[in-house]
Amino acid sequence: MNLSFRIQQEFYFLLKSKAILGALLLLLLVSAVSVGLGLNYVAKERQEIAQLIELDAEERAYKRSLAYDWGGAAYDAFHAVWNEPSDLTFAAIGQRDLNASMMRIRALAIEGQIYETDSVNPELALAGRFDFAFVAAYLLPLVILFVFYDLLAAERESGRFNLLTVTSRDWRSLWSPRVLLRFIGILLAVLLPLWIGMLVEGTELQTAMAATFAVFLLVTFWSVLALVIASRQTLNSQTLASVSICVWVLLVLAIPIAGKVVIESSVMGIRGADVSLAQREAVNDAWDLPKSATMEPFYESHPQWSDSAPLAAGFHWKWYYAFQQVGDETAAELAREYREMLIARDDLTAQVAWLSPAVAIQRRLESLASTNLDAQLAYEEKIRQYHEQIRRAYYPALFRDIPFSKERLKELSIPDFSEL
Amino acid sequence: MRKLLLIASDELRCWRRSKVAWTVLLTLLLLSTAAAVVSNSEISRRADERLAQQAEADATFQAQPDRHPHRMVHYGHYVYRTASPLAMIDSGIDSMVGTSVFLEGHRQNTATFAAAKETGLLARFGSFTPAFVLQILAPLLLIICGFSSVTREKEQKTLYQLMGQGVSGNALLLGKSMALWFVALIALLPALIVGLIATIGNDFGFTQSLFVMTIGYLLYLSIWVLLIVSVSSVLRTSAQSLSALLGLWVVAAVLMPRIAAEYAGAVVPTPSQIETNLRFAEAMRNEGDSHDIEDAAFRDLRAETLDEYGVESIEDLPFNYRGLVALQGEELDTQLLNQFAEERMLREMEQTDVASNFAWLSPLISMRDLSMSLVGTSLQDHHHFLRAAEDYRYEMVQTFNRLQMTEMTLSEDLARNDDAESGQRTRVDAAHWQQMPEFELQPLSHTQRWQGASKAALTLSSWLIAAFLMLLLCARRVGP
């Protein structure tokens, strides 16, 4: 019996085995559905962003047409920021649906703006998304376990096992073609739709290869595990199935949930609400304090404006924007601690990933798709930088007391978020 | 009846001999208890945290010095959402929605800082609550216990003996179901006990809800029991029965909830928050700026007010006209804001309604909806919180605006920025903020919660009837 004959033979068996073939087709189907939904999600988001940019410019132009002083112009001028989906976002949407992928910010204190959320229907969010990462984490292992769990037991229970073992030349040539063929079938079923999605999105080759490799490792891991279970010769097929499903529950449901309990109760640190509370207190206290209490620390951290004309009694916009800035500076430390808390939780999640392949594949795909915490924090950092630009654009007019005119306002141009 | 009990006890005796069934039973009891305990401590920790935060926010609010009332409108207030006392049984949407809302004049802010965002990736894997154990894991463990309940008799050729002794198909299948049902009861107990402890001394009918919910879980697990025994009776081998049941479970418990959510999101799209804000800004263009009494939008108000009081100019009015404009402006803003907010909430309810139609395909979805609604952690409860927060916001802002109207004259108000002394004159005694009632979220009543759950109750009952009929149908085919 040569190898190519054996493979042909196994291929024939595979086509004849309705259960295995059905499982592979089902995998192909759910993978395709998940990719389709992901592509749809990304397309919708891009369209929303394009629409936002247009509406945003129009609204800003309108507000500018009403402006009659610098401070008021800055107060009313919101600028769109957005988080463009990456070329792999369709495969792992991650926390994108909870985080606001679009926002409008203005020159006021950023800590009061950056935590705004998009309103999502929590009941739909609770279920989670049907994306490729979900298929890979949850369903793929089930199919693998199903395909392999009774590899030996089925033959034994049908009474062919001994005959096969006795007549075949060696153990390897008997089982490896079957295992190999099923393994390839699984890989193709799960990866083909992903590859098509990548072609549609024009995913960078390196990202595409990394994602493919991650899925390959995942399939290998579960296949080996399934074969280890299947090779327990003393167990009958239904016990093997029970054991398989328990292993799945443990690795895919129990460990992540236990990890979540540990993470939520061990890393508490600063609460998000504290950051915005601190910022608000600083900003509001300033109204009641003497103006020098705001201006002195402000001029100290921004010496380039310290020669600005002294403030008279009453309201002045430069004082207003100075205490917005001081408010941010007061809350900066808390905001940093808040981010550190998030990072600490993410680091612990990475530890959980060592115990659960479901967490591991999701983390890997989200990292490649730029939908993980790092990407979110980088986006927030970019918003902060852009906000700084907006703020600084108005400072010359405010602190040099340049008389306001519509023409001068027109000259004050702030680049788009995309140009940052 | 005696025959049923005999068959049930025989089935239990069979499990007692097999290690698998014992492990399953023990796991179920352990998980169910652990979930109740862990979830209890987690939810009470969260509740304490929010209570502390609310107390802190209230304290800072009340500690504000004498101020111009409009300053307080912009200073605003924070309110926190308190979780339902039964959230430990089913945390529902609790971690998905923001815990606090910043309330201020002229704006409705979204609820921010959802726990799920702070937990990251793992938040979507579910919560370790009794609801998770009962909805997802218990059916799986019931499958492992019961997939071979009838196929085993076929494989060991004992089925014909039984039939020969005059055991009818009905008696056989119902007896097997009773044995499995016993396992389901054991799984339910820890949740019920924890729930009872949590609801003692609580009004708002949570005890009632708890009982209705427990009945719901009984129905749900019974559906699975009947399905398992039916499938086991129609298929030839235990292996087939197990594969079929596991397949059913994957579809019902893992696939369907996500498919339902994706479908609902696609069929009833909601605009993003930013789009709503922009549309709101556009609608506001005609509304005028209530900070500016000369704004054209308030011309009618001025004429009417002057007419009503029979005076020539706003300076002659017996109150501060700026306060009246602020009052009127906030009212108009709020009308428009509420219109947008209600539209959004309506959309979300529609989405949830569409998703709940998938309950006809998976009993898990009806159970989930029923459980969340009765426990008080559903979308309905979140909307209730948002509305309560908005009512509080409006009352607070209008109280400040009325203070601005009555506690100073127009000329004093207009001169407030001239010098320190004029500023002092427009400041209102801090006692006014100290007297402001604190935000207290009254949960929905049992009747309201039950209304939210009624559709799920209907689908769940239909499932039970269908499963029972199916069992009877299968019973006729059992035997020679």
Q: Which residue has the higher pLDDT, B379 or A12?
A: B379
CB B295 within 8 A of CB A73: no
All residues of chain B having their beta carbon less than 8 Å from the beta carbon of residue A239 are: 20
- Residue A354: what pLDDT? 96
Closest CA to B100 of B386, B436, B398, B437: B386
**Strand runs labelled E in A55-205:** 79-82, 102-105
Which DSSP symbol is given to A97? G
For residues B258-273, average pLDDT: 91
Output helix, strand, coil percentages for chain B, rounded to the nearest 5: 75, 5, 25
Nearest-CA distance B336 → chain A (Å): 18
All residues of chain B having their beta carbon less than 8 Å from the beta carbon of residue A276 are: 102, 112
Is B353 in the A-facing interface, judged by CB distances under 8 Å? Answer: no
Sign for the CA dihedral angle at A251, A253, A255, A259 comes to positive
Token code pair at residue A122: 């929590």
Q: Sort strands B107-108 and B112-114 into parallel, antiparallel or unpaired.
A: unpaired
- Residue A366: what pLDDT? 96
- Residue A172: what pLDDT? 67
Nearest-CA distance B49 → chain A (Å): 10
Strand partners, B98: B114
Nearest-CA distance A349 → chain B (Å): 7
d(CA B371, CA B87): 10
Alpha helices (runs of H) in B310-440, residue ranges in sequence order: 321-356, 363-375, 379-406, 410-414, 420-425, 431-434
Say yes or no for a CB contact (<8 Å) between B275 and A95: no
| pLDDT tens-digit map of B77-105 | 999 988 888 888 898 898 888 888 999 99
Q: Output the CA–CA distances (angstroms, integers) from residue A235 to A152, A208, A239, B474, in the order listed.
A: 10, 40, 6, 30
d(CA B249, CA B140): 7
What totals of helices (H) and strands (E) does chain B contain, helices first? 21, 4
Can you give the pLDDT of all 420 residues of chain A as single tens digits? 577 877 787 777 777 777 888 889 999 999 999 999 999 999 999 999 999 899 999 999 998 888 888 999 999 999 999 999 999 999 999 888 888 888 999 999 998 888 888 878 999 999 889 999 999 999 999 999 988 887 777 777 777 767 767 777 676 666 778 888 899 999 999 999 999 999 999 999 999 999 999 999 999 999 999 999 988 877 777 788 888 888 999 999 999 999 998 998 888 767 777 888 888 888 888 888 888 888 888 888 888 888 888 887 778 888 899 989 989 998 999 999 999 999 999 999 999 999 999 999 999 999 999 999 999 999 999 999 999 999 999 988 888 888 888 888 888 888 889 887
d(CA B65, CA A391): 30
Is B119 in the A-facing interface, judged by CB distances under 8 Å? Answer: yes
CB B258 within 8 A of CB A128: yes
Is B335 in the A-facing interface, judged by CB distances under 8 Å? Answer: no
Say yes or no for a CB contact (<8 Å) between A99 and B117: yes
Helix (H, G, I), strand (E, B), or coil: what is residue B270?
coil
Percent of chain B with pLDDT over 70: 99
At B200, phi and psi to the nearest 5?
Answer: -60, 135
Q: Which of A127, A242, A363 sits opposite B261 (nearest CB)?
A: A127
Q: Sort strands B98-104 and B77-80 into parallel, antiparallel or unpaired.
A: antiparallel
Q: Output the CA–CA distances (angstroms, integers) from residue B171 to B163, B179, B476, in the order listed.
A: 10, 12, 11
CB A221 within 8 A of CB A137: no
Q: What is the mean pLDDT of chain B?
A: 89
Token code pair at residue A227: 């074969």
Nearest-CA distance B126 → chain A (Å): 7
Q: Which of A44, A245, A257 sits opposite B140 (nearest CB)?
A: A245
| Structure-derived torsion over alpha carbons of residues A67, A71, A75, A76, reported in degrees to the nearest 10 | 10
Closest CA to B147 of B72, B249, B66, B298: B249
Say yes or no for a CB contact (<8 Å) between A272 and B112: yes
Say yes or no for a CB contact (<8 Å) between A119 and B38: no
Is B250 in the A-facing interface, judged by CB distances under 8 Å? Answer: yes
- Residue A344: what pLDDT? 93
Asked whether the predicted pLDDT for residue B259 surpasses 70, the reply is yes
Helix (H, G, I), strand (E, B), or coil: what is residue B113?
strand
B284 burial via Cβ count (<10 Å: 0-12, 13-18, 19+): middle
Rg (CA), chain B: 30
Is B277 in the A-facing interface, judged by CB distances under 8 Å? Answer: yes
Is B377 in the A-facing interface, judged by CB distances under 8 Å? Answer: no
Q: Which of B98, B120, B140 sits opposite A95 (nearest CB)?
A: B120
Asked whether the predicted pLDDT for residue B152 surpasses 60, the reply is yes
Closest CA to B69 of B468, B338, B400, B392: B400
Q: Which of A56, A116, A359 sits opposite B110 (nearest CB)?
A: A116
Mutate to test the interface with A, among B39, B274, B352, B426 (most CBs of A within 10 A): B274
d(CA A221, CA A136): 12
First vs last C-alpha separation in chain A: 65
Strand partners, A79: A105
Let me know the angle formed at the C-alpha of A105 by A103 and A109, rounded to the nearest 5 degrees: 130
d(CA A331, CA A277): 9
d(CA A371, CA B467): 43
Q: Output the CA–CA distances (angstroms, integers) from residue B14 to A74, A105, B168, B313, B475, in the order listed.
A: 78, 67, 20, 95, 21
All residues of chain B having their beta carbon less than 8 Å from the beta carbon of residue A314 are: 417-419
| pLDDT tens-digit map of B424-452 | 888 899 999 999 999 988 889 889 999 99
Q: What b/e readout covers B148-181, taking b as 16+ CB neighbours within 10 angstroms? A: bbbbbbbeeeebeebbeeebebbbbbbbbbbbbb
- The pTM for the full model equals 0.90
- Residue B425: what pLDDT? 86
- Residue A187: what pLDDT? 96
- Residue B161: what pLDDT? 84
Is B71 in the A-facing interface, judged by CB distances under 8 Å? Answer: yes
Asked whether the predicted pLDDT for residue B267 surpasses 80, the reply is yes
